[in-house]
């Protein structure tokens, strides 16, 4: 991937940018790899607005490399501060669509676990374990087939690999997620950030964005 297409820039104004991340691409660069959605979005802003210097762009939330969907970026330091405040106060709503292995019987449910952030994965733990953090999500079944279930997922907490680890823990790993018990190579998994709602950091207007996953 060398450049973002117009369809992958969902929204952009002077204060924020929302881009679509494909599976397999990092959200932010690392010491080992520079190619990322953030880098490509900076290139797009630089070209679109004919900027000569460095581009200010910081992501508010990250998606794991094999996950796709909507990602929110701040374009100014003021927007970054205000959007981070919203995020800490859990005022930014994110809804995910996931396809899991097996058939979930109940039309909706809630998952409660304690997780520890281990090396490159989340590990289910006891509430009394050191560094264990409570995790909760709710889900609603959208569609069932003989071997898979499509669900809408909303996080009540935001932990590392939370959705992936929690569905893996109940024996219904996300399709493709080999790290948590699913089939496939783990490079692309059936998890997509499909809805994003937030207050504009300057105008306070309520903004809502939707995106359908390719696996739906």
Catalytic positions: 64
Report the candidate in 173, 26, 21, 23 with the shortest Cα–Cα distance to residue 100. 173
Distance CA 111, CA 113 (A): 7
Q: What is the DSSP letter of 36?
A: B
Question: Is 106 buried (19+), middle (13-18) or exposed (0-12) by CB count in 10 A?
Answer: exposed
Radius of gyration of the chain, Cα coordinates, nearest whole angstrom: 18
C-alpha 211 chain-centroid distance: 12
Distance CA 100, CA 112 (A): 17
**Helix/strand/coil for 106:** coil
């Amino acid at each position: 991937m060398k450049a973002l297409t117009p369809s992958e820039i969902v929204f952009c104004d002077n204060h924020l940018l929302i881009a679509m991340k494909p599976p397999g691409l990092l959200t932010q660069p690392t010491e080992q790899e520079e190619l990322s959605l953030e880098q490509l979005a900076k290139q797009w802003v630089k070209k679109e607005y004919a900027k000569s210097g460095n581009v200010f762009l910081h992501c508010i939330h990250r998606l794991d490399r094999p996950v796709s969907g909507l990602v929110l970026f701040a374009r100014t330091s003021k927007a970054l501060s205000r959007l981070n405040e919203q995020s800490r106060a859990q005022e930014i709503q994110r809804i995910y669509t996931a396809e899991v292995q097996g058939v979930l019987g109940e039309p909706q449910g809630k998952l409660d676990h304690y997780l520890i952030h281990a090396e490159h994965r989340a590990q289910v733990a006891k509430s009394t374990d050191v560094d264990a953090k409570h995790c909760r999500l709710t889900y609603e079944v959208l569609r069932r087939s003989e071997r898979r279930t499509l669900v809408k997922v909303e996080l009540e907490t935001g932990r590392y690999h939370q959705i992936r680890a929690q569905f893996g823990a109940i024996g219904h790993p996300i399709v493709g997620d080999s790290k948590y018990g699913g089939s496939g190579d783990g490079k692309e998994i059936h998890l997509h950030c499909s809805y994003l709602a937030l207050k504009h950091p300057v105008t306070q207007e309520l903004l809502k964005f939707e995106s359908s996953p390719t696996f739906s």
